[in-house]
Amino acid sequence: MSALTATLPLETTPRRSLEGVSPASRAIWDEWLKAHRHADEPVSRRPVWQRFAEFAATWREERGYTSSVSDMVLNNSYQKVVALGRRAVPYILADLMTAPDHWFPALTAITGVNPIPPEAAGNMRAMAAAWIIWGEQEGFLD
Amino acid sequence: MSQSKIRSQFPRLKRTPFLISSPETPTYNCIAFAAQDVQRWWWPSPSYYWPPNVDRTENLQTFIAAFATLGYEACADGRVERGFEKVALFANAQGKPTHAARQLPSGRWTSKLGNDEDINHSIYGLEGGQYGDVAQYLKRKLTSRSANPEQKSA
């Protein structure tokens, strides 16, 4: 039970005694339950790791077969990852440790730095490695 | 990715044969593959590989300039020409470059699909889908270094 529902007075919490209630009352009861569920687990209160995983999966699906880095970065789900801010950095770095992917512009947008050396340009593994080393040095991978 | 997934993005591949010719890999992209480089992702974005001294503006002219550093020049079509190898640059309806394919000696073409596989296909098969249409054909003379267009590395 969330802090919000825990503070609700007992008499306002939904009850299961529905015998004899009208369809309209039942609909209101259903809406009341839905409101409680939303109070417990709204989108904005889902953990960052879960939101990152969902946005990343949607991004990978929606980018299709593009080679365009700018198209990948402008994707709505990619921008949602950027909007998660520094809280997303450990999950992005963990994702890069699994396999290189195009998280480099997101990491630069979030952190304001770019640890990729010029000689690593375009080398996906070397680019990922540069960010992972940076993450370790900055304490994102403790 | 499955063949059906590829066909969903490129509807003409439902009517013309294509072969998947490599495993999926994020290591290189279509532009690099057309340039016979399977070690890097080529794109004119910061931190990605782009030939030195070529403008990083994302338009057809800069992509033509990138291939010019490898000896390519504009040509009229994608017909097989003895002694030459060809590249097709694709662009979307806004003229923005989307893809590059490389011609094989047989006259068919080979492409890397984003982060996924390489395929062997016809130009017709790849047009009209996610990549738009061919905006420019390029060609260069075959040299001993580039005599085997089936090779992958530059």
Residue A142 lies in a domain: no
Determine the number of helices (DSSP H) and then strands (DSSP E) in chain B: 4, 7
Query: What was the pLDDT predicted at A15?
Result: 55
- Whether A63 and A17 share a structural domain: no
- Whether A56 and A40 share a structural domain: no
Is the distance from CB of B79 to CB of B121 less than 8 angstroms?
no
How confident is residue A3, by pLDDT bands cut at 50, 70 and 90? very low
* Shortest distance, CA B5 to any CA of chain A (angstroms): 9
| Token pair belonging to A97 | 């440790």
- Whether A121 and A65 share a structural domain: yes
Q: Which residue has the higher pLDDT, A2 or B126?
A: B126
- Whether A55 and A111 share a structural domain: yes
CB contacts < 8 A (A, B):
76
CA distances from A43 to A4, A105, B96, B134 (A): 15, 25, 36, 43
- Whether A81 and A96 share a structural domain: yes
Tell me if B30 and A67 make a contact (CB, 8 A cut-off). yes
- Whether A113 and A125 share a structural domain: yes
Of A64, A69, A100, the CB nearest to B45: A69
Residue A73 lies in a domain: yes
Strand partners of residue B85: B140
Residue A94's domain comprises: 48-137
* Shortest distance, CA A113 to any CA of chain B (angstroms): 12
Residue A10 lies in a domain: yes
- Whether A8 and A61 share a structural domain: no
Query: What was the pLDDT predicted at A46?
Result: 87
Q: In whole angstroms, give the CA distance from residue B103 to residue B150.
A: 9
- Whether A33 and A52 share a structural domain: no
Q: Does A75 touch chain B (CB under 8 A)?
A: no
Tokens 């880095």 found at: A69
Binding-face residues of B in 92-151 toward A, CB within 8 A: 96-99, 112-116, 130-131
Q: Specify the number of domains making up chain A.
A: 2
Write out pLDDT tens, residues B46-77. Answer: 999 999 999 999 999 999 999 999 999 999 99
- Whether the pLDDT of residue B149 is over 60: the answer is no
- Whether A65 and A113 share a structural domain: yes
- Whether the pLDDT of residue A10 is over 90: the answer is no
Q: Which residue has the higher pLDDT, A12 or B83?
A: B83
Query: What was the pLDDT predicted at B144?
Result: 66
**pTM for the full model?**
0.82
Mean pLDDT of A41-62: 89
